[in-house]
């Protein structure tokens, strides 16, 4: 194996390790519903200076990937709700918007069902349960999405700060 190929293997392994660590910190953030676990990691990166920029980029990439996955999960829940409601002949135009599903009151949804001729109590109860389940999932996923968005913003801010400070100091990282 040549030195160049060995270097690229090590670089790949290092990136994978950073992503794994970032994933653990992000999971902890989601578990405690706070960006505080990320604050501790970022503090150490800021202290390390411009040498930490590659680590910042990897953490940011992992955060962005996870945020995209949460958005896909939200879309799947909404599409599943739409499919289930379609099977009962219900056309619910707000089903594609997470905020509509998450914030609609049960009485309003029941009104939608009745307006579309769903009068049988058993069918109404089934549709209400489908909607409640989707609402609960979307609400939880929205919290995760917003937290990941906040982490992403926080990482970007600090990464740019490290870049700016390094540039001002004429750091060799930029020469």
Mean pLDDT per block of 10 residues along the chain (175 residues) reads 58 73 92 93 85 88 96 96 94 83 92 94 96 96 96 93 80 52
DSSP code at position 35 = S
d(CA 12, CA 7): 9
d(CA 165, CA 46): 10
Q: Is the distance from CB of 29 to CB of 150 less than 8 angstroms?
A: no
Neighbour-count burial of 15, counting CB atoms closer than 10 A to its CB (0-12 exposed, 13-18 middle, 19+ buried)? middle
Side-chain half-sphere of 165: how many Cα atoms within 13 Å? 14
The token pair that represents 103 in the structure block: 């914030």
With vertex at residue 139, the alpha carbon angle to CA 108 and CA 146, rounded to the nearest 5 degrees, is 135
State the Rg of the chain over Cα.
23
pLDDT, residue 5, reads 61
Instruction: Flag whether the pTM goes above 0.85.
Output: no
- Name the nearest CA neighbour of 172 among 67, 53, 59, 9: 53
pLDDT, residue 28, reads 95
pLDDT, residue 168, reads 77
Maximum alpha-carbon separation in the chain: 74
């Amino acid at each position: 194996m040549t030195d160049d190929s060995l270097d690229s293997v090590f670089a790949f392994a290092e990136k994978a390790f950073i992503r794994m660590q970032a994933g653990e910190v992000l999971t902890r953030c989601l578990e405690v519903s706070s960006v505080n676990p990320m604050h501790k990691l970022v503090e150490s990166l800021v202290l390390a200076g411009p040498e930490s920029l590659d680590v910042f980029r990897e953490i940011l990439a992992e955060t962005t990937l996870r945020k995209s996955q949460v958005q896909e999960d939200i879309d799947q829940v909404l599409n599943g709700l739409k499919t289930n409601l379609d099977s009962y002949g219900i056309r619910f135009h707000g089903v594609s918007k997470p905020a509509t599903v998450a914030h609609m009151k049960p009485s309003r949804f029941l009104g939608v069902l009745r307006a579309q001729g769903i009068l049988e109590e058993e069918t109404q109860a089934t549709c209400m349960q489908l909607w409640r389940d989707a609402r609960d999932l979307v609400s939880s996923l929205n919290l995760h999405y917003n937290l990941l968005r906040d982490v992403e913003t926080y990482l970007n801010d600090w990464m740019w700060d490290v870049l700016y400070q390094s540039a001002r100091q004429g750091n060799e990282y930029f020469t």
